[in-house]
Structure 1
């Protein structure tokens, strides 16, 4: 190993994503990721539990931002508008990461195990959103329905945002999805 360089975690994530894209997720080993990053396997495991976690390392932050923004907004706005505030918080979190996220999502979509993990993370976010809504007085089944709707709005906007020919901002695409939902439910 050469001299110490900062941002080991970021270097590992970049190396992993490059290798997953080049060779495939299943064919890439932790040793190869560490070597590409110029680090040791031990350093890899100091930052990530396994090679899947490289792809899902920000899931906790994603959930915390989404739920936190919704909780904060519920003090002064209707639940649907609070969900919009949560979507805006997520859009802000991802704003400068479009290329990384596009590549990451391509890796996830090429592997059923990773797709399942992605869905589990989104289900966890939906559950946390529903809990937050209930704590703020939204009854069931409304809280669960609203939470699932918030996650669905995210998914629709997100998948449009990562499309190869899409250049518009994520916040705009999620707002468009919300406006379309409002139009459909209003009978327009």
Structure 2
């Protein structure tokens, strides 16, 4: 067998195996698709038709799910924002369960404090994919203390659904939403949901 062809076969197999180690759903799909396409080509050249059929089917399945994931990533019919009390038992459970991961992305966040806070869960069906916690900083400002996304959906930005519902902030008397530690955020995401740079902070005006 031609050496480059055999190398290609091993690369395809390695990508499929590597994809199975990924927690992020989008990364898993792309790696699995790439590996299965390479494996399909390899098996066509080698004439191993049962594996051609299997890998071609896996490729089509991955294409279907990638199209669906990209189509739904900004769909308000798929993601639901649920406001909960800052001392809600389920919210505290989520914060405890993911405490280590949350600390990596929001090192300034203190989970135990509840006074003056508002909290929101972002749900995809019955799965919690994000948590946002705000605090009243006075002067009509809502301070974003936590804007966390579960690892499975970290390639998406479910927190945007909280920002889209401006009535949430206006009803609480807020005129501005402020991100004080932008270094822990995706700046493309902040731009997309309407934030602008203001010195070391990022600010978004609230419209009723």
- TM-score (structure 2 length as normaliser): 0.29
Q: As a proportion of its length, which structure holds more helix?
A: 1
Q: As a proportion of its length, which structure holds more strand?
A: 2
- TM-score (structure 1 length as normaliser): 0.31
* Larger RCO of the pair (alpha carbons < 8 Å, separation 6+): 1
